[in-house]
Amino acid sequence: MKISKEGFKIIAVSGVVLLALWLLIFYMLKANDLTWLIILLSALLLVFWFFIISFFRDPRRVRIHDGDLVFSPCDGRVVVTEIVKDDEYFDGEEKMQVSIFMSVTNVHINWFPVGGIVKYFKYHPGKFLVAWHPKSSTDNERTTTVVQTTKGVEVLFRQIAGIVARRIVSYVKVDEEVHQNDKCGFIKFGSRIDILLPENAELLVEIGDRVVGTLTPIARIGDFGVEDADDSVDEQ
């Protein structure tokens, strides 16, 4: 099993702490001839450490490239599909928002949902509300990234920290060319990702659907960005 580089330090530190705890338990209980309890607690500590290791697993995924589709940027469950107004980047325009919640058992690597040029990136410090809270999109610690596809469609996605997550890692750089389904970051422990799409995008998922990063298409966008741009020119 391949491990993400973001987990190396945590795995090593937790391993040392758990080993020290096991030694303490061993010497305290051995004198009382509680071998069965030593075995039980040893097994629990080992299971807990393997859980930490599995959290940082980096599975091999097929990288699909399709300019008409938006793929899920993470593993998890769809918890929101609604029209929202975005004031951070789109100046109050209405967008289709898809939100995906990641539990502590999901893979927490994040991938680019589309390929293109990074037009915008910003880190926002904030609170640590539960990730499914409606205000987590605007109040929690988060990053905002906008990628413009080769067809002119701008797709915004946010990495949002949850009540457990305390650190968001992003590999994004403005003006950099990125490829669909390449890694874009990591959120440590439970968290959420919001994806903002053109209002008339064709959704391919529903609330409650389980999605897999890089493999599950969540929407079809086609040339919506180009059409919208042409309409605005005609109106002028």
Residues recognised as catalytic: 191
Going edge to edge, which strands form the sheet with 109-111? 109-111, 183-187, 168-170
Q: List all residues 6 or more positions away from 147 whose beta carbon is below 8 Å from its beta carbon.
A: 112, 113, 114, 115, 116, 117, 118, 119, 154, 155, 157, 178
- Asked if residue 150 lies in contact with residue 222, where contact means CB atoms within 8 angstroms, the answer is no
Question: How far is CA 233 from each of CA 92, 127, 148, 225, 227, rounded to the nearest angstrom?
Answer: 19, 41, 19, 13, 10
Per DSSP, 5 falls in state G
Per DSSP, 146 falls in state E
The number of beta carbons lying within 10 Å of the beta carbon of residue 88 is 14
